[in-house]
Structure 1
C-alpha cells in the first residue's frame, strides 16, 4: 500500500499553528478578563501634576515613571481593582496589536481599534512637595573630613475622580520622608542613594492602595459574638493589632432625585473597636466598653479615625 504525502510547507504550517495558538490564548484571556471586570472596580491614572514650587534641581531626582510603577503595583496587589494602563509604551503595544488584528494576515477579533474600557475612577496624582538632598559639615581640626546626612520628603495629593459625574469624590493626602544619621566622609557633595527615593515611593504607594480600598470597599463587620467581632480585612488591608477603628451604621442609600445617582449612605456613628488579632484575609476585634454592643451588627462599616 502506498501513502501519498501532500506537498506541505512545514515552515508555513508551523507559523499557522503558532498563530492559531496565540489567538486561542488571547481569546481565553479576553474572556477571563471580561468576566473578572464585572466584579472589579476599574481605575486608571491620569498624568502627574507637579507643583511649580518644586525647583528644577529637585525635579531631576523626581522619577515619575518609577513612582507610577510603585503606585500601580500597590493597587494591583490588592486584587480588588482592574488597572487600566495609561503608560505610553503599553498603549503603543495595544495599538500595534490592534493594527495586527486588522491585517489580512491575521484576521480576527483579538483586538478592536478604538476600544477602551472606561474607568470607574480616575486617579489624579499631584506632587505638592519634594526634597531629596545631602547636608554636610566640616569636621573641626580634621582637614578633609566631613559629617554628612541624607534626607528627603515626598508629599502628594491624589484626587479620586468619578468620570460619570466629572467630580472629585475624595482626595488622599500622602506623605513619606526619611533622614539618616550623621556619618563621617571624605567628601562633602553628592546625593542620597536612589534606594531612599524608592522607599519613599513605595510607602506612598502602599498608603494610597490602603486608602483606595477603604474608600471603594469599606471595611465591614461580618460576624459578631458578644463584644468580639470579625471583619473582612486582614494583613492584605494593612491592619495591625491594637489599631482603633470607628464603627458606623450604614443607613439607607441617598439617591439624587434629579440624576438618580447614588450619593452614598447616611452613616451613623456607633462607637469604636480595637483590633486584637490579624489574619491574612480577616481580623478580629473587641468593641470598646463605652460602645453599646447591642447596636452593633453584621454589615456595620468600619473606618480609620481621621
Structure 2
C-alpha cells in the first residue's frame, strides 16, 4: 500500500514538473430561476403576448446558465443542488446565508413589450411593418455567505425586425429569431457584468506596444474598441460604515483592441503612463 501511494505521489509531482495545468479554484455561483414581475405578467396578458413572455423567460433562464459558465470565471451550481442549498440556508433578519456557494445571482424581468408598428407608403403601393421587442431585466449579485447585495444593475434592450407588405400580420406571427436574439443579448450582458464586477478584466502580459487581456470571445470586447487602463491603489473604506468601497483606481493609459481569440484579447497601446501586468480595464465613457 505504501509503495502504491509513493508511485501515485511521484506521478503527480512528475505531471507538475512537466507543466501540465492544474485545475484552478473557481468561485461557485448559484443562479436562481428567472421570473417576471407580476406587473409585467399582467401587462403581457392584456396585450395578448403572454406566450412571447413565457418563451422569453424560459430562454433567459436556460441561456443565462450557459452564458455565466462561458465566462470561464465561475463554477455554476446545478439547479437541483441549489434547491437543496436553499432549503438548508439560514434566513434571518431579512438576510440569508447559503453554505457551499460564494455568490447568488437573481434575475427579474421588469419590462417586456412585443408589438408591431406599420407604416403605409401609398404612393408606392407598399407598406412596411416592424416587430418591436423591448426587454429589460434587473440582475442582482449577492454574497452568499453574508446575504449582502454586491451589485444591482438594469439591462434595457430593444430589437426590431423589418419586412414589407405584412400590415395584416398579427403579433407573434413574425420569426421567433428576434426573441432568441434579444434574450441572447440580455444573458451575455448580465454574465459579462457579473464577471466584470467580481473579476475585472486585467492585463496579463505585455510585449512592446501590445498587451494581452484575460477576456476572450463573447465577453464584451470587440475589435476597434478603446479601453481605459487603471492601476489599483489602496483599499477605500467608508468612514461611516467601515464597508469596503473597492480600491483606488488611477488611469495609466488607453489601449485599442486589435484581435480576439477564444480565451484572450490582444490590444495595442495608445497611451501609456505606467501600464503594467495586473492593471484593470474599463470601457471608455461614451
**Fold shared by both chains (TM-score > 0.5):** yes
CA-CA distance at 1:114 after TM superposition: 5.7
**Structure 1: gaps spanning 5 or more residues:** 1-34, 96-112
Determine the structure 1 residue equivalent to 2:131. Answer: 150
Unaligned runs of 5+ in 2: 1-21, 90-97
Distance 1:177 1:216 in 2: 27
Other-structure match for 1:65? 58
CA shift in 2, pair 1:180/1:236, >3 Å: closer
Task: Summarize the alignment of residues 75-224 of structure 1 with structure 2, pairs less than 5 Å apart.
Answer: 75-86=68-79, 90=80, 118-136=100-118, 147-185=128-166, 187-191=168-172, 192-224=174-206
Q: Residue in 2 aligned with 1:234?
A: 216
Q: CA deviation at 1:225?
A: 3.5
Local SS of the residue matching 1:267: strand
SS at match of 2:195: helix
Look up the SS of the partner of 2:168 in the other structure: coil
1:297 aligns to what SS in structure 2?
coil
| CA distance in 2 between partners of 1:168 and 1:153 (Å) | 27
Change in Cα spacing, 1:239 to 1:139, as seen in structure 2 (3 Å) is closer
Please give the alpha-carbon distance, in whole angstroms, between the structure 1 residues aligned to 2:221 and 2:123. Answer: 51
> Is contact 2:114–2:171 with CA below 8 Å preserved after alignment?
no
Q: In structure 2, what is the equivalent of residue 26 of structure 1?
A: none
Give the C-alpha shift of residue 204 in structure 1. Answer: 0.6
Q: Distance in 1 between matches of 2:77 and 2:213?
A: 29
Work out whether residues 136 and 189 of structure 1, in 8 Å CA contact, stay in contact via their aligned partners in 2: no
Change (3 A) 1:240 1:259: same
Using a 3 Å threshold, how does the CA distance of structure 1 residues 142 and 52 change in structure 2: closer, same or farther? same
Deviations 1:150-193 (A, max 9, x none): 11111112121223343321223323322222411483434233
**What's 2:283 paired with?**
304
SS of the residue corresponding to residue 285 of structure 1 reads: strand
User: 2: distance between equivalents of 1:305 and 1:157?
Assistant: 23
Larger gyration radius, structure 1 or structure 2: 1
The alignment partner of 1:125 has SS state of strand
**1:276 counterpart (238, 258, 276):** 258
- Tell me the equivalent position of 1:52: 39
* Deviating more after overlay: 217-226 vs 113-122: 113-122
2:160 touches 2:178 (CA, 8 Å); kept in 1?
no
The CA RMSD over aligned residues, in Å, is 3.6
Aligned residues: 246
**Structure 2 partner of 1:39:** 25
Residue by residue over 1:230-251, the C-alpha shift from the partner in whole angstroms, topping out at 9 and shown as x without a partner, is: 2222225342221111111122
The structure carrying a bigger strand percent of its residues is 2
